[in-house]
Structure 1
């Protein structure tokens, strides 16, 4: 039997969910990796100039300001959109972290392809998965499983990009339903979508949390004379995305289009956006992974067995940063299964930290590629430049960072008073990729007071490492870094526990933005340490502390903390793995994913 919608506030317990008894869960990770491997093989070598799905073909589509239609058709034929449909409705969606595993082959090739082809459909129907009726859920599942697209028509936000400006209004209609009016000038796939999930104003003031409602619309069922499509926008980035305007002219909408309750739009957006934030962060790591591969290939040209010494620091640093980003994103994604009502702040911290670190990584790789002088026929430089251009447009720029800080700042006083140094450590399954976890259920997502599992993991790991503080070599360096970062958390604790509760201050002081940024970096450090501790020895490189020492050193440096230089043995070990993965066509992620390169 299909479950009825669960509304905000239902799941607020701090007790982690447990995986239900029975088969299936042990195979989830293996199945997702198999699907990813098949998709990677199908898409082929991104560096092969003759590959119709390679970087050269994708760059040509970008130059033509068109989506990569050939690759989109391939993904449709392989039913890739089934990844966005919950298992109970015939799809493959089980957990958020495994969705990233399955979709990274797409994002390894092209950020625009990843957003334009599919992930936008998931962002749209997430409100349906969270609060839709059984019929709405079945309807959306049939659409996506049949190769259709959904798009999201966001509500207005004062501080945002063009996608989030303007808004629609839905007035109650005599006899039931609504009359929809208004215009949005920038909607991705507005003219190509088979379903529109619309956030429309149904209430009055901006500060009313129940001012908006969600409507699930079938464009084919709407009166043609009441819907007007506007020309595609000549946007700078992403150039291949289909962004255009849509206008509703007193358009009748049936009552069964309402998703959840009237006035539930903003709570639904807040509940589901935490999944989107963690997903985007985890997926974009794959795009930077490809650029790092291309850069290492360029650094090894001319028969070199290893990159020139002047490139050791940036290349190993970027590799360590990618592993840190993956550790943090994966922890947030898995938290959505274990703590679905309490991951709000963690997801915001991930979305704040990961794009920032990735932008720094791209800057370092640009320097290496420029110095190494890659083959003119190699599209690596163009791919890197396009990624630098497209990251902000994908919600990974200033507006996205500000939105994440707006989530973190109000929670700092509560975290300081009730979580930091008192929160019990999260279950070890959170950081073990093969561990059994409950399936993600959008209906359980909540916006209750967040748990801070990452700082709890940091303090726990630091305590266990304390005995090795004076040990020479990588392990002693790791213990000292952990102690330094716990010291930073103590300083944050002292500062934040005296802050007024949310809603009592008249404005947000600029210093609070700095505190939120520092907190997010400390949380990232907790993810790195806990991921290192969770290793079972099956990956000798990840089981050694070298990568964690390098990642924590870079995080401490961003915080302005005195951490000293990492032992040279750490950098050499990371460098050796960097070269090995390049030569063996292995991804620079935590899973060391095999790639057909």
Structure 2
């Protein structure tokens, strides 16, 4: 067993059975803590003992971060129990740290690594409520003066600001504006002058209630220029590189919430009798279970393949990262809505054995707007479409098999080497064409052919786009092209996973791929489509089997506690 898989098992063992009412990291403790707007003490202690923040530190700096897909899979163990614990106690530090790994000096990287390895936190102070996702318009200023920087302004709704040991600020260093007008700064909290720095009252939230959202107000606080991360004026460029990792990894981690929502729903309908039979046998219920299972598999396939692409196709991350965020957020949000219909009145319970469902249904909401909103994701993809269409989609090299094979050897992660734009390079979509070189089962062939035809049409439409079509004011029809591209990428990821799955694996069967491609066609058309009746039974049978064996419903089918 590899070291990372041993760590996954060790983390599951330490966190224990989430359905055990006596478990300090279980659902009962999670719900009790959520009522207090906190994370469960038992869960936080278990993660600290495990050394969870070491997972976010590169191996070269003494940590355990080697592969993004392994980090995602390990963190799903946390998110499936309590997303507030996953974000508030763990991955919020990743948001700040990736900027240090991308642009920090050797001393900044070393100091931040030591901080995280000791179990301390880093906060990422980028957003301001007045500007939302438009971080290029921040007003928080760092004004150069006599070899130092004078900080002034306000940051709001930032995770862990009041208990972080270091903060990464995005600040305006050139009031004239432009792409080089912002810089990043790494500021240890130990040196803050409390006469010039004021922490704002906590922001309370509907979902993720255990996450401490705070703010800070700074009045002429001075730091040395060696606080800069990278050169003056490179703050946005650094963020565009660093956040490719987080905008793939964090939505991919969040699929564990859907795993829990599906598992709780399945337990509910297996225990409940309606109209003289098990609720799980009612046609509408079976269809919803099969739809959600397919949605979970396609989201995890896309997220996992995109995570590996940061190693194998680093030039394409600027296109893949917003696409992952846009599609996974949309699919998981819609899936929870459908599961809530099956849960019925149990959906509203805040206690009892099914009480965690309503928490997951609330906590999943920020996936659609946290870090970057879905609309902003389309705005990030859209300007890249014409050059992708002209340079790559007509004649790209085949996607490397390592994207689709678990634990296949991958190049080392090189965050500074990630590209700010894809430059017309996209190898993933070619996985669709490659599939037809094989002996494709009859039910799959028309689905794959329609995906390929859809890419041809998308190529022609995008190649003809003009610069005026690509702004924030783009029409709905043009923005739909970007949305269609996200479904094409997800379809290619699913096809690649199916083609490279071991012959005895469920993922090597065509049933789930037929279901996933059908669901993606519905997403692309804006009209949800149920999985075909002739594969529904196979998906429900697999779902029931996994539940009986206590393994994940996602791509890995990994053993759970």
Common fold by TM > 0.5: yes
For residue 559 of structure 1, give the secondary structure of its aligned residue in structure 2: helix
What TM-score does the superposition give when structure 1 sets the normalisation length? 0.88
- 1:252 and 2:222 equivalent? yes
2:86 and 2:334 map into 1 onto residues whose CA distance is: 22
Deviation at 1:162, TM superposition (A): 11
- 1:589 and 2:560 equivalent? no
| Structure 2 unaligned blocks of 5 or more | none
Provide closer, same or farther for how the CA distance between residues 566 and 533 of structure 1 changes in structure 2, counting only shifts above 3 A.
same
2:356 corresponds in structure 1 to 383
1:549 corresponds in structure 2 to 514
Alignment check: 8 A CA contact 1:149 1:194 kept = yes
Provide closer, same or farther for how the CA distance between residues 354 and 581 of structure 1 changes in structure 2, counting only shifts above 3 A.
same
For residue 315 of structure 2, give the secondary structure of its aligned residue in structure 1: coil
1:88 and 1:295 map into 2 onto residues whose CA distance is: 43
1:485 and 1:264 map into 2 onto residues whose CA distance is: 39
Alignment check: 8 A CA contact 1:33 1:101 kept = no
Deviation at 1:589, TM superposition (A): 1.2
Deviation at 1:438, TM superposition (A): 1.8
Picking from 311, 321, 325, the partner of 1:347 is 321
1:231 and 1:373 map into 2 onto residues whose CA distance is: 32
2:161 corresponds in structure 1 to 190
Deviation at 1:396, TM superposition (A): 4.0
Q: Deviations over 1:263-319 (max 9, x none)?
A: 010001111111111101210011111111111111211595964333111101110
2:298 corresponds in structure 1 to 324
1:498 and 1:269 map into 2 onto residues whose CA distance is: 30
1:486 and 1:309 map into 2 onto residues whose CA distance is: 32
Picking from 52, 59, 84, the partner of 1:80 is 52
1:445 and 1:373 map into 2 onto residues whose CA distance is: 43
Q: Deviations over 1:482-513 (max 9, x none)?
A: 01111111221121111114788694222211
2:152 corresponds in structure 1 to 181
- 1:430 and 2:395 equivalent? no
Alignment check: 8 A CA contact 1:214 1:258 kept = yes
Q: Deviations over 1:113-135 (max 9, x none)?
A: 11100111111011110111111
Q: Deviations over 1:195-236 (max 9, x none)?
A: 011111101244x11111111111112323221112212333
Q: Deviations over 1:388-447 (max 9, x none)?
A: 323333454796111210111101111111111311111111110121112212222221
For residue 351 of structure 1, give the secondary structure of its aligned residue in structure 2: helix
1:7 corresponds in structure 2 to none
Deviation at 1:237, TM superposition (A): 3.2
1:414 corresponds in structure 2 to 387
- 1:34 and 2:6 equivalent? yes
Deviation at 1:170, TM superposition (A): 0.5
For residue 460 of structure 2, give the secondary structure of its aligned residue in structure 1: helix
Deviation at 1:377, TM superposition (A): 5.9
2:114 and 2:347 map into 1 onto residues whose CA distance is: 49
What TM-score does the superposition give when structure 2 sets the normalisation length? 0.93
> Where in structure 2 are the equivalents of 1:554-593 lying within 5 Å?
554-560=519-525, 568-593=533-558
Alignment check: 8 A CA contact 1:553 1:563 kept = no
1:11 corresponds in structure 2 to none
Picking from 268, 283, 287, the partner of 1:313 is 287
| RMSD between superposed Cα atoms in Å | 2.6
Deviation at 1:578, TM superposition (A): 0.4
Provide closer, same or farther for how the CA distance between residues 415 and 166 of structure 1 changes in structure 2, counting only shifts above 3 A.
closer
- 1:522 and 2:467 equivalent? no
Q: Deviations over 1:346-396 (max 9, x none)?
A: 11111110110101110111111117899996443x433223323333454
Alignment check: 8 A CA contact 1:46 1:53 kept = yes
| Structure 1 unaligned blocks of 5 or more | 1-26, 469-474
1:147 corresponds in structure 2 to 119
Deviation at 1:161, TM superposition (A): 6.7
Alignment check: 8 A CA contact 1:167 1:184 kept = no
Picking from 424, 441, 446, the partner of 2:414 is 441
Deviation at 1:536, TM superposition (A): 2.0
